[in-house]
């Protein structure tokens, strides 16, 4: 049995962060019903580098977190659509929405209204800046939050900055934090029997992603500087090699002693971190010279064998080709494709393993509205009533 079997989630989210939060619980057994407007579906459906998939409303951004979900199209601006929504909420355990703050409430679906309908409901709102405050009404995407939070200013090199991350890390960190918050609320409900309101902001997540920088700034008044591939400790930085770039990870005093011993330069080892910082320029110059004597791949093997963290800098393609990744079950592959997706593809699963009842993909990402009739039938709608809803473009 997986952790969230028997839990029903209404996923009224779009793009990346919200859908990823619901996806994580879906991987762990929850039933996830994804709500989309029949004429304006989740914008991730037409996003990604495969333009043919985008045209088919099955873009790779949607595929990333679309598995294990049922697709229900619903126009919440029509009263008939809102009535369907109320019936769904009455039977649901969780509602996740990432409308602009206030927009969902304006449709009649505020926390107060829905908790009165279903006191056990976990109601999670994901937004850029939170439901209140001076920025509450503003909207943003991952890269806009990177700019707002200070992350961009601390990323890059001293010569080239600010720079945004190469991946939408804040979106996926927000989705992961959302899954954590939902798990906590569901666990709490098991004890109290009461529902919960979750207010999750991307900006807050971005600040937590800088937690050590934040604490340092509050103590010293000094913000993080863009250092590129260099760390304040030379033995914890990246260097060119005979072929490729190697990232050294001799972070603590014990590891830096091992590194210098492995390189035959025991006299360079330091007793304190203050000494390492004071001698950084000399250490870095020596390491730049030594690292050029082997390839990055050779240095990785040599240093790892001596318990010194080190890695050749890889591309995503190279990382996925690493035999070790295959042992972690990080990817689920659809070798024969799926409805709406001709040809093979793969999607990420979860970043952890459980001894039993772990995350797994049961069904492929659904085409738009694939489960509309089935879900409405389960809510008690007859075939004639469903046909009427279709005629009215409610679904």
Q: What's the CA gap between 31 and 68, in Å, rounded?
A: 8
DSSP lists the bridge partners of residue 123 as 95, 197
- The answer to whether 305 and 256 have CB atoms below 8 angstroms apart is no
In sequence order, the 6+-apart residues with CB closer than 8 A to the CB of 190 are none
Helix axes 169-192, 142-149, angle to 10 degrees: 90
> Measuring CA to CA, how many Å separate 265 from each of 233, 257, 258, 269, 311?
16, 9, 10, 8, 21
Q: What's the CA gap between 224 and 162, in Å, rounded?
A: 12
* Residue tagged 């009533």 (tokens): 385
Which secondary structure element, helix H or strand E, spans residue 301, and what is its range?
helix 296-304
In sequence order, the 6+-apart residues with CB closer than 8 A to the CB of 381 are 84, 389
CA 118 to chain centre: 29
* Residue tagged 């960190």 (tokens): 173
Burial of 93 (0-12, 13-18, 19+ CB in 10 A): buried
Neighbours of 43 (CB within 10 A): 13
> Measuring CA to CA, how many Å separate 201 from each of 43, 52, 145, 215, 391?
20, 33, 10, 20, 38
Among residues 75, 93, 142, 171, the one annotated as catalytic is 171
Q: What's the CA gap between 318 and 76, in Å, rounded?
A: 45
Residue 46 annotated among the catalytic residues of the structure: no
β-pairing, 238-240 with 245-248? antiparallel
Sign of the alpha-carbon torsion through 17, 61, 35, 71: negative
Of 6, 26, 185, 161, which is closest to residue 92 (Cα–Cα)? 6
Of 182, 88, 87, which is closest to residue 126 (Cα–Cα)? 182
Catalytic residues: 171
């Amino acid at each position: 049995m997986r952790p969230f079997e028997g839990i029903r989630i209404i996923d009224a989210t779009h793009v990346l962060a919200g859908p990823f939060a619901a996806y994580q619980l879906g991987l762990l057994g929850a039933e996830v019903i994804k709500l989309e407007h029949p004429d304006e579906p989740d914008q991730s459906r037409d996003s990604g580098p495969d333009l043919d998939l985008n045209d088919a409303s099955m873009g790779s951004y949607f595929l990333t977190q679309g598995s294990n979900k049922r697709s229900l199209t619903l126009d919440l601006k029509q009263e008939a659509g809102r009535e369907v929504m109320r019936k769904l909420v009455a039977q649901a355990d969780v509602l996740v929405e990432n409308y602009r703050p206030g927009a969902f409430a304006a449709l009649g679906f505020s926390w107060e209204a829905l908790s009165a309908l279903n006191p056990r409901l976990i109601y999670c709102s994901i937004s850029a800046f939170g439901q209140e405050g001076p920025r509450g009404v503003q909207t943003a995407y991952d890269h806009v939050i990177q700019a707002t939070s200070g992350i961009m200013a601390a990323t890059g090199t001293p010569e080239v900055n600010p720079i945004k991350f190469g991946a939408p890390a804040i979106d996926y960190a927000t989705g992961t934090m959302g899954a954590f918050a939902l798990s906590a609320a569901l666990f709490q409900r098991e004890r109290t029997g009461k529902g919960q309101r979750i207010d999750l902001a991307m900006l807050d997540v971005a600040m937590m992603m800088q937690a050590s920088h934040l604490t340092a700034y509050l103590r010293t008044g000094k913000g993080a500087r863009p250092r590129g591939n260099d760390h304040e400790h030379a033995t914890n930085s990246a260097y060119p090699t005979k072929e490729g770039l190697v990232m050294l990870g001799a972070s603590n005093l014990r590891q830096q002693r091992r590194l210098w011993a492995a390189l035959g330069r025991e006299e360079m080892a330091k007793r304190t971190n203050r000494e390492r910082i004071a001698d950084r320029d000399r250490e870095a110059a020596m390491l730049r010279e030594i690292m050029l004597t082997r390839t990055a791949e050779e240095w990785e093997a040599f240093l790892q064998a001596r318990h010194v963290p080190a890695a050749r800098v890889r591309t995503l393609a190279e990382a996925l080709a690493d035999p070790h990744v295959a042992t972690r079950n990080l990817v689920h592959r659809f070798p024969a494709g799926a409805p709406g997706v001709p040809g093979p593809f793969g999607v990420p699963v979860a970043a952890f393993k459980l001894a039993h009842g772990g995350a797994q993909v049961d069904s492929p990402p659904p085409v738009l509205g694939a489960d509309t009739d089935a879900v409405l039938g389960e809510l008690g709608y007859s075939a004639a009533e469903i046909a009427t809803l279709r005629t009215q473009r409610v679904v």
